[in-house]
Chain A
Amino acid sequence: MTTTHQSKEPAVTPELAAEYGLSLEEYQRMLDITQRTPSFTELGIFSVMWSEHCSYKSSRVWLKKLPTKAPHVICGPGENAGVIDIGDGQAAIFKMESHNHPSFIEPYQGAATGVGGILRDVFTMGARPIANMNALRFGSPDHPKTRHLISGVVAGIGGYGNCVGVPTVGGETNFHPSYNGNILVNAMTVGLADTDKIFYSAAAGVGNPVVYVGSKTGRDGIHGATMASTEFTEDSEEKRPTVQVGDPFTEKLLIEACLELMATDAIVAIQDMGAAGLTSSSVEMADKGGLGIELDLDAVPQRETGMSPYEIMLSESQERMLIVLKPGREDLAKAIFDKWELDFAVIGRVTDTGRLVLKMHGETYCDLEVGPLVDRAPVYERPWEPTPPQADIPASEAPLPGPATEVLHRLIGGPDLASRRWIWEQYDSQVGADTVAASGGDAAVVRVHGTNKALAITTDCTPRYCFADPVRGGAQAVAEAWRNLTAVGATPLAITDNMNFGNPQKPRIMGQFAGCIQGMAEACTTLEFPVVSGNVSLYNETNGEGILPTPAIGGVGILPDASLAASVAFKAAGEAILLIGDTVGHVGQSLYLREIHGREAGSPPPVDLAAERRNGDLVRGLIRDRAVTACHDLSDGGLLVAVAEMAMAGRIGADIDLPAGLDAAGFLFGEDQARYLVTATDADAVIERARVASVPVLRLGTTGGTSLTVGGTDAISVDGLRTAHEAWLPAVMAGGADQPTS
């Protein structure tokens, strides 16, 4: 239980520990575990393992409240990614993860390595990645940094995903001034594996070799996990050297080599080196297996000379994996990695001591009991206060300022609703030749290779709802993901969540977190849509200003037959347009209220989960029976925006009636939940099925012509809408001097 003397390492004191992010209380807790003053390398290990990023110390007590079980869940949170059964002996493996801080500091590499990291989380478990998604939040479009950040992040996501050969099939991008100093880059990967070929990270077999594969270790990204656990200040941008650089070509080789090795029986356990690199991977493997690991750091492939044990253990160099092999399989494994021209080194053994022992140059730099490093990591029940409720805003307070089509034209050509084509055309959305639907619809649809099945994938969150009412906002984010999957005809199966919040030490922020979790948990339970993986990103604050609470939800569902997938585009003239679900005209927190009346105010729309489920189940049934020709969920911007999106996608106009007795602004632009628009050739059949299912349905109008006409007289050309819709983002991006970093 000692380390030999390391003359070159600094002496560990409470002051030094504080610099490495450990509070005095945490320092004392560390001493209780070690029963001696730890070495500098050991301090580094405690510091990253107990960082917010690795330990979830502020969020853990709340995350436990989320439902994580269902008959189709094979593996819930706690492994590298969540695993669900999709039938026929196949599993979908997926997770979403943030790379917010690195992307703000160096947008191209930050976003690229974010994609690389989430890909590794998924293929580590034995899955071939088949789709990437993302959820992006930027500051105000006219903020001086925004353009530079968008161009770098988008080029980085594309640069990595396109080269690796995994299609980026969709995502969401929004703007709000609260993200001016803290953008959000949340990347999601979905992979495919056989249920009997799933790999986990628990080390087993005393004496088994511990193998390092992938790229060499350099000094990049040291303390990235700690960086992700603190607030930004003005001088944070000087932290640039800690950002890692990604190499997608090496990642592609690593995917192929790992999958080739996984096809043999050589692997006992495997874990990618993500945040906190070799430290967290070795500690997690040992801890999950209840065993020890001893590493010879001299054997670690190194890119730079003179690296210290501390640097080797904390490096966040990309494209690396740690594997426990069955004894005697080293040569077989090495031949595969040689073929793919990747580094391969046996760097240690599994032991029965329960300790992490690190040796280098004949000295012992670390000798720590693994269990307490994980089990006795600090857990905080941070004080929290609930967000005060906002008043309902009656639609009469926000009358239409002019013709509805003029309002529509402004909304559809504005920051939140304008086309994201400029972004998604930079992503290869079709490599793999299994993409059925990519960006532009409610959910992406990707065929399960070699079958007729397809996975539907979506990412969703409405942060302004979460800010105004975290409980409703949290429920709405989950419900919208469920609705988007339903709107393409899929059965929603499970979600991954990426909880992006401000400083958890502020009770107001912790209240947002607690509220969102409560709402999410209610929605997950009622919709039978459990959480199987997730990630928490806290301290998204700059100079004391927090972001809007943003629990980004990544949802996955299944279609038994890919050819059943519904799309938003109007298909033909003369079809009935039907509105499914109840409309009361809730304008609080709507984009209409914000963009047209300049008020970001009021309560967000209520979420009736029972209605959500009833309406969605009806719509899914209609799609599966081919009773509808197009389907679109109603969300940001409300009814008329959804009609316009369907018209623009199909290049077919529509005539829409205004029902008597409802305020026009509330009817056309309110954001009531649990609603869909469908088109049908046999409207009566749809109406009858809705009646039987006790679901409200309204015959709204008819497709046809080249214009969108509201209430008989107020008309606008679909081409004109398209022009406005497509023009906004290119105009913003053409605005000035910034160039992509690549």
Chain B
Amino acid sequence: MKAAVIVFPGSNCDRDVSVALEHATGHKPAMVWHRDSDLPQVDLIVVPGGFSYGDYLRSGAMAAQSPVMREVVARAKSGTRVLGICNGFQILTEAKLLPGALMRNAGLKFLCRTVDLRVENADSAFTAGYAKDQLIRLPVAHHDGNYFADADTLARIEDNGMVAFRYVTPDGAIDASGNPNGSANAVAGLFNEGRTVLGLMPHPERAAEPLHGNTDGKPLLDGLVEALS
């Protein structure tokens, strides 16, 4: 699997995801600077976490308008897999590759903790490493992770099996206590309709090796390698 990681000036998880991809694939991904519009031919494009252009207007708003994102959108439309993590998820919604928006956390504070998730749909290159309904734990660290979409959009998302991961309680229930940021339908990870694009608030690259104390993010990366090689 060939991968590229998009680097905005305020990206700060670009190195972390690059290391995790290198561990999974055996070779370094291409790092693509935000002002470049020629993206190498790859199987997977990762839009990493961070603060892209400072996130001063809305998280991801300015990044979504950058030259490199125009190219990412074009590739996504032709079927290249695109994974947006944290700020990357925000950018993908701002770029309209995914429906809805990510608003300020319901608790209004930045939140860094490990959360419980349920795999809702294992039928994709991103989630093939998991089983449907599997319970996993991944770290989140964000200020704007409160997923919002209007009622019609939510219905469409549910009808098309577009929810990849949901926030749950440790025993797998969906309720307010298991939802760290107030997301509609407890959405933690969301596909596009073709399940070729995934936006994810949790950070799989921070749970990818034993020293992280958690390796629940590793099947996501390994599953991608298997599906796209």
Contact = CB atoms under 8 A, between A and B. Distances in A.
A90 to B, nearest CB: 17
Nearest to A452: B211
Interface in B32-64: 49-51, 53-56
Interface stretch (A159-167, A350-358, A711-719): A159-167
Nearest to A450: B19
Contact of B110 (A159, A247, A447): A159
A427 interface: yes
A388 B213 CA distance: 49
Interface in B1-57: 9-10, 12-13, 15-16, 19-20, 49-51, 53-56
Given A256-B9, A428-B141, A433 B112 contact: no
B212 A249 contact: no
Nearest to B49: A431
B108 A426 contact: no
Contact of B50 (A165, A247, A426, A430): A165
B159 to A, nearest CB: 35
A659 B16 CA distance: 50
Given A252-B10, A426-B109, A433 B206 contact: yes
A436 B50 CA distance: 20
A735 to B, nearest CB: 16
A192 to B, nearest CB: 13
Given A430-B141, A433-B20, A740-B108, A253 B210 contact: no
Contacts of A341: 9
Interface residues of A, number: 32
Contacts of A436: 211, 213
Most buried by A among B55, B56, B210, B212: B212
A562 B211 CA distance: 8
B211 A431 contact: no
Contact of B9 (A159, A340, A424): A340
A430 B86 CA distance: 13
Contacts of A562: 211
B110 A433 contact: no
A563 B211 contact: yes
A123 to B, nearest CB: 14
Interface residues of B, number: 32
A425 B112 contact: yes
B13 A431 contact: yes
Contact of A162 (B15, B16, B110, B206): B110
Interface in B171-205: 203, 205
A431 B12 contact: yes
A158 interface: yes
Contact of B112 (A248, A249, A426): A426
Contacts of A250: 54
A428 B51 contact: no
Interface of B: 9-10, 12-13, 15-16, 19-20, 49-51, 53-56, 108-113, 139, 141, 143, 203, 205-206, 208, 210-213
18 contacts: A162-B110, A163-B10, A249-B53, A249-B55, A252-B51, A253-B9, A424-B112, A425-B109, A425-B111, A425-B112, A426-B110, A430-B141, A432-B15, A433-B13, A433-B15, A433-B212, A447-B211, A562-B211
